[in-house]
Amino acid sequence: MSRSLYLGPWRVDLTIREGVEPPAPSAVLARAMGRAADAAGAPSPASIGLILSNDAELAVLNATHLGKRGSTDVLSFPLLPAESFPAHAGAKTLAGPGPSTGLAAFPLPPGRRLHLGDVVISVERAIEQAVQGRGGQTGDIRWAPLDELRLLATHGTLHLCGWDHAEPAEEAAMRALEATLLAR
């Protein structure tokens, strides 16, 4: 099933894979993604892809694109370089005063939106992590699957917008922003 949800300057193009039953209303996930894109200073109006899938697909994507074996909970596929977003503490490099001018140099046809990229979530893994107490930012939280999916949608969107958590300072900044966004 595919459909688009419009939230201000954001369009979330939602795809739910066959056999996947998300325990969260799609509008809740789309709002979480919109808040994350706003907080990250993403250029707008823009679209974001959200694909709700399962462990099998995430395992294939993880192997194909990251060279890692096994499934994971969320993968992000950004289409813009990190320099397209304002500098922030969660970036790999803090160079640059803000959004690059490269985006404005490539005008889109009327009525078209810039696409930030796609976020793919394993609903199966999200439910398992939440129920077994392996959810949350720390991997030791037991909470509703809805909360885990909101976290993963937020986390994936921040990755689309140039945020990372490979280094301790980046991780602390990204986790703090996620906590703030999830508290809303």
SS3 at position 123: helix
pTM of the model: 0.89
* Answer CATH for 2-183 from 3.40.50.620, 2.40.110.10, 3.40.50.300, 3.40.390.30: 3.40.390.30
Per-residue model confidence (pLDDT) at position 31: 97
Q: Smallest Cα–Cα separation from 137: which of 123, 127, 147?
A: 147
Cα separation, 37 vs 102, in Å, equals 19
Give percent of the chain above pLDDT 70: 91
- Intra-chain end-to-end CA distance of the chain, in Å: 28
Each residue's pLDDT tens digit, 134-155:
999 888 999 999 999 999 999 9
Domain boundaries defined on the chain = 2-183
Q: Is 134 left (phi over 0), alpha (psi -120 to 50) or beta?
A: alpha
Average pLDDT over residues 82-94: 76
Alpha-carbon torsion, ordered 172, 173, 177, 178, to 10 deg = -40
**87: pLDDT strictly greater than 90:** no
Per-residue model confidence (pLDDT) at position 107: 66
Per-residue model confidence (pLDDT) at position 100: 44
Handedness of CA 165, 38, 14, 82 (dihedral sign): negative
Mean pLDDT across the chain: 90
Amino acid letter for position 59:
A
Per-residue model confidence (pLDDT) at position 112: 80
Each residue's pLDDT tens digit, 42-61:
999 999 999 999 999 999 99
- DSSP string computed for 26-80: HHHHHHHHHHHHHHTT--SSEEEEEEEE-HHHHHHHIIIII---S--SEEEEESS
Each residue's pLDDT tens digit, 121-136:
999 999 999 999 999 9
Per-residue model confidence (pLDDT) at position 137: 85
Pairing of strands 46-53, 10-16: parallel
- Where in 112-169 does DSSP place strands (E)? 114-122
**104: pLDDT strictly greater than 60:** no
Sheet holding 74-78, edge to edge: 2-7, 10-16, 46-53, 114-122, 74-78
- For tokens 């823009």, what's the residue? 46
